[in-house]
């Protein structure tokens, strides 16, 4: 069914309005409310205007057609009345006129046809009224469709607003949860910072104690070295004094012999013999002087070497105390020394050789602080140390230094040189630290962890 251009344009504008409203659904709630109000007003105004125009047009057309049909009906009725009158008159005046009767019949037929035409026109008028009623029904249907669309759009807008309210509520809940989480994280961070500060302070205290211990050990080592230097210096002075005394005795003897020879006037043979004996004594004394000089030079070299070594140790200790370790990777610094606590197991001889290959030696415990340091790291484990009586029958460290026996350092009843171990005829000739932090002797072929010291 065709519609007027104005109605089509209004429908297009309404459709575009719906499309624009659908496209703008994702905008903010306030803008949607404004658009919804404007669109509702525009649609309502357009609907009222279209209906008013259509009703006016229908009324005008219907009135015009009704007037036309009324005029035509009056004209037909007038002509019909005139024809009937003429027919009566002709019938009375000319009863025997055949052609005229035929003409009259033709006219009557024409009148009847005109009546049929009038009926047809009346029917068409009724059909036009039916078409107008159909158009009215169609317009009513369009209006109902517009109202339905408006209702659906209102429902969609309301649903969108409801969903947005739900989303805003969810966002608010999420923000509340985030704020709670941030507060929890901040509290946990503060707790961790406090714990970290406490650990740092504890570590600083431990480092301070270790530095003080290292300084103390370095001072003790320094004092011991100075004592050795003083002893060596005393030995050098004593040797120099003896050498000087010997020279004086030789000169006094020579002078005395010369005086005696000159004063006594003995024979040349006696003089020759005495001279030979004197020369022999002089040669012997010269040899003694050279030997003493060589020993003095060797002693000086040992003193210088000891001083150089002590200087290097003091520098290393100072560097370690200042926080810079000179130990190899995997080695643990303590005082002026570096310690390697193995994870693999070797027999005693293999452990000794490995430590030597690392420019170190199997552990030699020299101070109480060192004992505490080592035993704190050997709990529940057995470790070889550098003690053995395999070669001499006397316990010695691997550097050859004799071990001064202290039973408090050993397990009860040890060392016992037990031979019923089934590993050979040898007894237990190698020392190790047990889990309790005490020495014990064991067969050297046993495999254990070991400690190197450099």
Q: How far from 378 is each of 113, 331, 335, 381, 452, CA to CA, in Å?
A: 137, 15, 18, 5, 13
Instruction: Label residue 442 exposed, middle or buried (CB < 10 Å: 0-12, 13-18, 19+).
Output: buried
Q: How far from 348 is each of 155, 168, 270, 361, 403, CA to CA, in Å?
A: 92, 77, 70, 12, 17
Give, as one character, the DSSP assignment of residue 344. S
Q: How far from 144 is each of 6, 22, 130, 140, 180, CA to CA, in Å?
A: 19, 20, 20, 6, 53
The predicted-structure confidence for 31-76, as pLDDT tens digits, reads as follows 666 767 777 788 888 888 888 888 788 778 777 777 876 776 776 6
Is the pLDDT reported for residue 448 higher than 90? yes
Other beta carbons less than 10 A from residue 453's beta carbon: 21
Q: What is the mean pLDDT of residues 2-12?
A: 55
Q: What is the dihedral of CA 233, 237, 238, 244, to 10 degrees?
A: 160
Give, as one character, the DSSP assignment of residue 367. S
Q: How far apart are CA 402 and CA 339, in angstroms?
A: 22
The residue ranges of every structural domain in the chain are 5-183, 221-321, 332-453
Residue 328: which of 437, 452, 232 has the closest Cα?
452
The predicted-structure confidence for 278-325, as pLDDT tens digits, reads as follows 677 767 776 776 777 677 777 767 767 766 666 666 665 655 555 556
Is the pLDDT reported for residue 189 higher than 50? yes
Q: What is the mean pLDDT of residues 325-345?
A: 92
Give, as one character, the DSSP assignment of residue 24. G
% of the chain surpassing 70 pLDDT: 52
- Give yes or no for a contact between 450 and 342, defined as CB atoms under 8 angstroms apart: yes
Q: How far apart are CA 282 and CA 286, in angstroms?
A: 6
Q: Helices 5-23 and 29-93: crossing angle, nearest 10°?
A: 160
Q: What is the pLDDT of residue 440?
A: 94
Q: What is the mean pLDDT of residues 405-433?
A: 88
Q: Which CATH number fits domain 332-453: 3.40.50.280, 3.30.930.10, 3.10.100.10, 1.10.287.70?
A: 3.10.100.10
């Amino acid at each position: 069914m065709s519609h007027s251009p104005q109605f089509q344009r209004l429908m297009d504008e309404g459709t575009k309005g719906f499309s624009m409203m659908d496209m703008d659904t994702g905008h903010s709630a306030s803008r949607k409310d404004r658009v919804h109000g404007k669109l509702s007003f525009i649609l309502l105004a357009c609907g009222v205007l279209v209906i008013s125009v259509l009703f006016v047009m229908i009324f005008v057309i219907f009135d015009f057609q009704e007037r036309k049909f009324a005029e035509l009906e009056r004209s037909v009725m007038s002509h019909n009345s005139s024809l009937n009158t003429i027919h009566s008159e002709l019938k009375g005046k000319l009863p025997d006129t055949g052609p005229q009767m035929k003409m009259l019949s033709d006219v009557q037929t024409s009148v009847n046809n005109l009546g049929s035409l009038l009926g047809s026109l009346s029917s068409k008028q009724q059909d036009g009224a039916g078409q107008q009623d159909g158009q009215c029904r169609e317009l009513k249907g369009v209006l109902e469709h517009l109202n339905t669309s408006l209702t659906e759009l209102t429902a969609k807008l309301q649903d969108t607003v409801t969903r947005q309210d739900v989303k805003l509520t969810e966002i608010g809940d999420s923000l509340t949860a985030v704020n709670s989480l941030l507060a929890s994280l901040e509290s946990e961070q503060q707790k961790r910072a406090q714990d970290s500060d406490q650990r740092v302070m504890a570590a600083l205290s431990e480092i301070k104690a270790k530095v003080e211990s290292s300084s103390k050990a370095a001072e003790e080592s320094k004092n011991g070295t100075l004592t050795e230097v003083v002893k060596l210096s005393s030995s050098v002075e004593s040797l120099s004094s003896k050498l000087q005394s010997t020279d004086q005795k030789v000169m006094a003897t020579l002078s005395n012999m010369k005086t005696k020879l000159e004063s006594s006037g003995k024979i040349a043979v006696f003089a020759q013999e005495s001279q030979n004996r004197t020369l022999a004594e002089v040669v012997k004394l010269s040899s003694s002087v050279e030997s003493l000089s060589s020993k003095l030079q060797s002693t000086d070299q040992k003193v210088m070497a000891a001083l150089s070594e002590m200087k290097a140790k003091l520098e290393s200790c100072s560097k370690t105390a200042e926080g810079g370790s000179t130990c190899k990777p995997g080695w643990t610094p303590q005082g002026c020394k570096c310690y390697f606590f193995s994870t693999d197991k070797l027999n005693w001889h293999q452990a000794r050789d490995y430590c030597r290959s690392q420019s170190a030696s199997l552990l030699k415990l020299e101070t109480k602080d060192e004992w505490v340091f080592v035993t704190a790291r050997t709990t529940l484990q057995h470790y070889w140390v550098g003690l053995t009586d395999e070669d001499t029958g006397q316990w010695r460290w691997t550097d050859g230094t004799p071990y001064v026996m202290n039973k408090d350092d050993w397990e009860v009843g040890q060392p016992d040189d037990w031979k019923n171990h089934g590993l050979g005829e040898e007894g237990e000739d190698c020392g190790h630290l047990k889990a309790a932090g005490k020495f014990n002797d064991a067969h050297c072929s046993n495999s254990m962890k070991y400690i190197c010291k450099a």
